[in-house]
Amino acid sequence: MDTAGVNGISHITFIVSDLDRTSHMIEHIFDAQEVYSSGDDTYSYSKEKYFTINGIWIAIMQGEPLPVKTYNHVAFKISEEYYDDYLERVNALGLEIKTGRDRISGEGRSIYFYDYDNHLFELHTGSLEDRLREYDDKGGDK
């Protein structure tokens, strides 16, 4: 299949039980800007809000939370110099931090945390290039 027409990710949507609580989390941790709120209108499946995080469109919609926590996640790139600041932001909201996996030195650091509806987020300081270089240096598969 030709993927030349795919330009990137359009948006990411999360179904959340409390729009206001999740709005606060997104704004506090990610410095997100709210750009739309449906209020009582439901043009889609339910009430919703849109945010931008450094140009990334994030949507949240009112609904039932995920029934279980999994390792499925969305990872946002952060600079190493802001790692401790982001860790403080997550801790300030009392969110559950998940212990990260063992890492090879040089592939970056991560903060994994669950939101109020069992979505897992990652704040990661590395890049794909960093990871592949480290795996290659260790003799791993590409």
**Inter-residue contact 76 to 100 (CB < 8 Å):** no
Q: Which listed residue (34, 48, 80, 96) is catalytic? A: 48
CA–CA separation, 88 and 38 (whole Å): 31
Buried b (16+ CB within 10 A) or exposed e, 51-74: bbbeebebebbbbeebeeeeeeee
SS3 111: strand
122 among known catalytic residues: no
Q: Token pair for residue 125?
A: 């300081």
Q: Which residues are catalytic?
A: 48
